Amino acid sequence: QVQVVESGGGLALAGGSLRLSCTSSGLRFDRYAMGWFRQAPGKEREGISCINWTGVSTEYAEAVKGRFTISRDKARNTLYLQMNSLKPEDTATYYCAAVRELSYCPRDSWRVVSVYGYWGQGTQVTVSS
């Protein structure tokens, strides 16, 4: 049985930092491109970052570009999201997921929820001003 677990969320002040982690039992991340999504109350889930299987190629949504960094550690089977210069509008539940059957981030659809499988339960990030 595949389980994906996100961690590292919490409460931060505006301008602060958090690092999210995502790991799995039963799924080898190094076969897939991986992504981070977030969902704020009353809003749709949005893709914010994607990383290919080698870790060399990354994608970012404009809202987080320059502030967030996605990375992966194959030996630990772990995906990370370093979040700096946090803003109140970053408040959301953050999810990681694997791109279905692909080792790269599809250029025109990496932000589309249906492109991904093996979702975790999410970790809450709250940023106060």
DSSP of 99-115, one letter per residue? ETT-SS--TTTTT-GGG
Q: Residue 11: what pLDDT?
A: 98
Helix, strand, coil % over all residues of the chain, rounded to 5: 5, 45, 45
One digit per residue, the tens of pLDDT, for the chain of length 129 reads 889 999 999 999 999 999 999 999 888 888 899 999 999 999 999 999 999 999 999 999 999 999 999 999 999 999 999 999 999 999 999 999 999 989 999 999 999 999 999 999 999 999 999
Burial, 27: exposed, middle or buried (Cβ in 10 Å; 0-12, 13-18, 19+)? Answer: middle
Q: What is the pLDDT of residue 1?
A: 82
Residue 46 confidence (pLDDT): 97
- Tell me, what's the pLDDT at 58? 97
Q: What are phi and psi of 116, to 5 degrees?
A: -110, 155
pLDDT of residue 4: 93
